[in-house]
A and B are shown apart, each in its own frame.
Chain A
Amino acid sequence: MKNDDPNENNPFKISPSPSTSTPFPSPPEFFKELKLKTEMVSDAEKPNKALEAMEEILNERQSIRVYMDTCTKCGACAESCHYYLGTNDPNNMPAHRVDLFRKVYKKHFSIEGKLLGPLVGAEKMDSSVLEEWYKYFYSCSECRRCSIFCPFGIDTAEVTMAAREIMLRVGIGTKYANEIISKVHKIGNNLGIPELAFWSNLEFCIEEIRDTMGVSVNLPGTKKNPTDEIAQAKIGAEILYVPPSADLFVNIDTQIGAMLIFHAAGADYTMSHSASEAANFGLFQDYADLKAINKRIVDEAHRLGVKKVIFGECGHAWRAFKNITEKWNGQLNFEIEHIFQYTERLIQLGKISLDKTQITQLVTLHDPCNYARGSGLLDPQRYILNQTATNFIEMDPKKTRENTFCCGGGGGMLMDELMDLRMKGAKPRAEAVRDVNAEYLAAPCAICKAQLRLAMDHYKLNTEVGGVLDLVGKAIKITKMDASNDISSKESKKKTKCSLCEKEFQSYDECANHTEKSHEISKNQADMCCEPQ
């Protein structure tokens, strides 16, 4: 492996150092779309307005008050945080991070702090405190690993959410998260995929499946006229499938995997542009948007009259919807299930069958924080992987399941400007992957996928990053064949030219093999350069 080469400097050996990166602040126009009530105030007014917001939050959230009063600074959490391990910055120790909030709480809201002041670490709220907050509450991915280490179960992530909400109320926020939330409210998904592109991307997936597997799957929607470009969600379908929108754009293989599962099971499912985004960035920063973003999906599911809503591979989406919707968005007339639970059951019932020999890579599994610590989704994906891959290996038990390390990009931290911090924070996860020498890292979360692909490059690991469903899609045995398959399989026997080196091949498959070997382009993406003649 590359990192064993002594001549090459080993990125794992670079000693931790504080990160100087901070997020780009959000311009005022991105606040307009937020459901949270925000007030644009001058810099001089911000500390006082922030105190008012803080008082409201303290009166609304018992948990924050309890966390403020209960921490004993025992230090058990110190080395649980991936950002602390990667940066050695004392402010990144969870108890210390919460202390940035607690010192203001003590000064302004506690008897102890009012009487004893600096003796108990109380500090006045001012603009320098807000600056510190901005840096360090945006150096937390809300992964909650520290809450497992804390003997009292103090959840730093909740304090981070509260601090971010306080800052947002006075007009301090990140461009990244505010832009994404605006897009969800305006267009319907994080990536801003319009309706036409949504349906044509799904049709692209169908073509992909036809080209690579010779299987014809149905569009999860209906068209009034076959010539229409835009389809509609099927009213009265049994299942509504809600993936993260990244699956329709960058993680196409995950979407294909899901479509093949539904196809093989013969499920009556639909997808909808109005519910084209599972992710909920409101969870990361404010309750008002959290609630509103969940409501979209509830409303759409009720409009379509589906019996079940199935969520795709997105960690926080599952947590935000499963734990919160019913209490906040009222009575639900449908069941909620995760695609892993659904797939697990299909395998157990024998409704889909898998060919393990298709996946011979050494596969390991990354537990996204919000599955592991937010919603207890741990075993179905393991069952699926054991049924799908010949070589499935677990990472160090201290770094998986409830103890899983964050990818380093969750919690609204997946900003390009934070790359330095993100890569430093990804170190513990990369080390665990290196230790098992995995060839394929299954990371069933859109954010984890985006972050870990970069992290594997950064730490010079030859590990492919993808989803669990990607593998299922490759191993699944499809028996039903219809007429259209024959055409496509004939098509795949056409002469094909590689556009990168102008070589000609007898079939598409040969060309795909060639691109994989010569250009390091995986077979699934071979269509980028293999052009049938």
Chain B
Amino acid sequence: MSIISFFITNLLPYITIVIFIGGLIYRIQGWINTPLPMPLSVTYPKSRIDQIIKILREILLFPSLIKNDRNLWIGAWPFHAALAIIILGHSRLFTTIPDKILFTIGFTPTGIKALSTILGGIAGIVIMFSLIYLLARRFTEITVRNMSNPMDYLILIWLLGIVIAGNYMHFYNAPYTDIAEMRTYLKSIFILEPIAPPGSTVLLIHMFLVQILLISLPFTKLIHPIGIFFTQGIKNSLVLLRNVK
């Protein structure tokens, strides 16, 4: 194992875990510890059910974007939907629970593999093109370009790097196909007896980029999926739900 490979696969994961979890706690704790003297930004829900449906719709379909900025929705919704599928797919590397659920509803191991190849493949393509679209939009749409700083582009390029490496492995190269080997490696990390992962330079690049992204997540705008629960959009609606008569 080269020193770079050792760093990325056996050392960096621990740094990532500590900073990622520590950073999340730091950030969320920072929000929680700050009082909210008055929820000034309130929207009044009509009824409880109404509001719950509205919140779920907002999280699942981004309807406010369909209504207000369709050009953005065309990139943003497919991106997040594909990302959700990809995260679910990757969860199979860490746990066998998804496989067990699929077995119980009647999937065979070949079936699961086919599902992951097809669904993962579609998600990989969709997320790649939606990222290219979002990046192009940031460059070309004058209003968005005006409000962007280098980090906004960098994050998109970084994600694109991760996706391209991932897609390469999915379609051409195959540590992926041997999910068991990846599981053994990841397990070794968690039992603090790290071993070498299935050898592939692309996998190394992929893992490196992902870990840096996770390290930066609590400190950059990537925190937004958690932030949304603290802004008017949802949090105040939930507070108000208690007051709905």
Residue pair A66, B68 in contact (C-beta under 8 Å): no
Check: A15 CB closer than 8 A to any chain B CB.
no
Interface stretch (choices A200-208, A320-328, A425-433, A494-502) = A320-328
Residues of A within 8 A of B39 (CB): 63
Residues of A within 8 A of B76 (CB): 74, 151
Check: B176 CB closer than 8 A to any chain A CB.
no
Residue pair B224, A153 in contact (C-beta under 8 Å): no
Check: A365 CB closer than 8 A to any chain B CB.
no
Check: A75 CB closer than 8 A to any chain B CB.
yes
Q: How far is the CA of A287 from the CA of B35 in the complex (A)?
A: 14
B232, closest chain A residue (CB):
A153
Residue pair B147, A90 in contact (C-beta under 8 Å): yes
Residue pair B219, A72 in contact (C-beta under 8 Å): no
Check: B227 CB closer than 8 A to any chain A CB.
yes
Residues of A within 8 A of B44 (CB): 375-376
Residue pair A76, B69 in contact (C-beta under 8 Å): yes
Check: B199 CB closer than 8 A to any chain A CB.
no
Partner of A69, one of B36, B43, B223: B223
Residues of A within 8 A of B223 (CB): 69-70
Residue pair A158, B40 in contact (C-beta under 8 Å): yes
Residue pair B231, A154 in contact (C-beta under 8 Å): yes
Residues of B within 8 A of A402 (CB): 43
Chain A 389-418: CB-based contact to B (< 8 A → 1; otherwise 0):
000000000000010000000000000000
Contacts A73-B152, A158-B40; is A152 near B228 (CB within 8 Å)? Answer: yes
Residues of B within 8 A of A154 (CB): 231-232
Interface stretch (choices A113-121, A256-264, A296-304, A443-451) = A113-121
Residue pair A75, B143 in contact (C-beta under 8 Å): yes
Residue pair B143, A112 in contact (C-beta under 8 Å): no
Chain B 221-245: CB-based contact to A (< 8 A → 1; otherwise 0):
1011001101111101000000000
Smallest CB separation, B31 vs chain A (Å): 6
A67, closest chain B residue (CB):
B231
Interface size band for A: 35 or more
Smallest CB separation, B17 vs chain A (Å): 18
B63, closest chain A residue (CB):
A151
Residues of B within 8 A of A157 (CB): 40-41
Check: B141 CB closer than 8 A to any chain A CB.
yes
Residues of A within 8 A of B146 (CB): 90, 93, 96
Residue pair B37, A72 in contact (C-beta under 8 Å): no
Smallest CB separation, A86 vs chain B (Å): 15
Q: How far is the CA of A431 from the CA of B180 in the complex (A)?
A: 64
B46, closest chain A residue (CB):
A376
Contacts A62-B230, A151-B62; is A95 near B147 (CB within 8 Å)? Answer: yes
Within 8 A of B (CB), among A137-166: 144, 147-155, 157-158, 161
Residue pair B143, A93 in contact (C-beta under 8 Å): yes
Chain A 358-392: CB-based contact to B (< 8 A → 1; otherwise 0):
00000000000000011110000000000000000
Residue pair A75, B147 in contact (C-beta under 8 Å): yes
Smallest CB separation, B62 vs chain A (Å): 6
Check: B47 CB closer than 8 A to any chain A CB.
no
Residue pair B231, A153 in contact (C-beta under 8 Å): yes
Check: A347 CB closer than 8 A to any chain B CB.
no
Check: B151 CB closer than 8 A to any chain A CB.
yes
Task: Give the most central of A59, A65, A79, A152: most B CB within 10 Å.
Answer: A152
Check: B144 CB closer than 8 A to any chain A CB.
yes
B side interface size, CB within 8 A: 49
Smallest CB separation, A77 vs chain B (Å): 8
Contacts A70-B228, A74-B76, A95-B147; is A153 near B233 (CB within 8 Å)? Answer: yes
Partner of B40, one of A118, A119, A323: A323
Smallest CB separation, B129 vs chain A (Å): 18
Residue pair A155, B68 in contact (C-beta under 8 Å): no
Residue pair B41, A120 in contact (C-beta under 8 Å): no
Residue pair A71, B221 in contact (C-beta under 8 Å): yes
Check: B148 CB closer than 8 A to any chain A CB.
yes
Contacts A66-B231, A74-B72, A112-B220; is A120 near B35 (CB within 8 Å)? Answer: no
Residue pair B65, A73 in contact (C-beta under 8 Å): no
Smallest CB separation, B123 vs chain A (Å): 21
Residue pair A147, B148 in contact (C-beta under 8 Å): no
Q: How far is the CA of A161 from the CA of B41 in the complex (A)?
A: 12
Smallest CB separation, B200 vs chain A (Å): 31
Partner of B34, one of A60, A72, A327: A60
Residue pair B148, A62 in contact (C-beta under 8 Å): no
Residue pair A152, B231 in contact (C-beta under 8 Å): yes
Check: A78 CB closer than 8 A to any chain B CB.
yes
Residues of A within 8 A of B230 (CB): 62-63, 66, 70
Check: B83 CB closer than 8 A to any chain A CB.
no
Smallest CB separation, B183 vs chain A (Å): 34
Residue pair B35, A78 in contact (C-beta under 8 Å): no
Residue pair A158, B41 in contact (C-beta under 8 Å): yes
Partner of A75, one of B31, B144, B224: B144
Check: A521 CB closer than 8 A to any chain B CB.
no
Q: How far is the CA of A80 from the CA of B148 in the complex (A)?
A: 18
Q: How far is the CA of A58 from the CA of B33 in the complex (A)?
A: 11
Check: B64 CB closer than 8 A to any chain A CB.
yes
Check: A61 CB closer than 8 A to any chain B CB.
yes
Residues of B within 8 A of A72 (CB): 152, 221, 224
Binding site for B on A (CB under 8 A): 58-63, 65-67, 69-76, 78-80, 90, 93, 95-96, 99, 110-112, 116, 118-121, 144, 147-155, 157-158, 161, 287, 323-324, 327-328, 373-376, 402
> Can you list the 8 inter-chain pairs with the closest CB atoms, starting with the nearest?
A70-B227, A153-B233, A376-B44, A153-B232, A121-B149, A75-B144, A78-B143, A155-B41
Give 8 pairs: A residue, B residue, CB < 8 Å, sorted on A.
A76-B65, A120-B149, A120-B150, A153-B234, A154-B231, A155-B41, A327-B38, A328-B38
